[in-house]
Amino acid sequence: MTHRLPLGLPVGLSFAATLIATTLLAAPALANDDFPPAISVTGEATVSAPPDQAQLDAGVTTDAKTAREAAEANNVTMGKVLAALKGAGIAEKDFQTSRLSLQPQFANRGPSSPNAPPSIVGYHASNRVTIRLHDVSKVASVIDVLVGAGANDIGG
């Protein structure tokens, strides 16, 4: 007895026909190594604009015989610098102290005593302030204000 599908084909023949049809339909897809059409774009641009903000880094360095003298002298001068920035119309939110340092200074060892322990001969105090200016045309005048108030280390 042969089993028949609703179309009247024997089961074995139906399977064979399906296998051949699948193979024939898949063959062109496997043979096609071309990629679908595509568009590739490469671009390059240059943008320039005048600066609209400047950042300065200014500091006060002070040397003294003792740590206390160096720190106190540095604080006094930095206070003058901060007051001068306010007086120049720079908002307090646009400047901030950024670094404070107090370090000993050592005597140079002479050739006659290269193994002698180092001796402290003074202290070096340093304090810095970072200033953000929203008008770059004021950079030179702010530097003049800083130097006039006692800042002796400026960059940025």
Residue 124 in domain: yes
Q: How far apart are CA 79 and CA 150, in angstroms?
A: 10
**85 touches 97 (CB < 8 A):** no
Task: Look at residue 85 in the predicted model and tell me its pLDDT.
Answer: 96
Q: What is the mean pLDDT of residues 115-124?
A: 88
Residue 20 in domain: no
The domain tally of the chain equals: 1
Question: Which residue range(s) make up the domain with 68?
Answer: 54-107+120-155
Q: Which CATH number is 138's domain given? A: 3.30.70.2970
Given a cut of 80, whether residue 93 has pLDDT beyond it is: yes
Transcribe 117-140 into DSSP letters: PP-EEEEEEEEEEEEEES-GGGHH
Which region among 45-54, 113-122, 137-146 has the lowest average model confidence (pLDDT)?
A: 113-122
Question: pLDDT of 23-77, one tens digit each?
Answer: 555 555 555 567 788 888 888 999 998 888 999 999 999 999 999 999 999 999 9
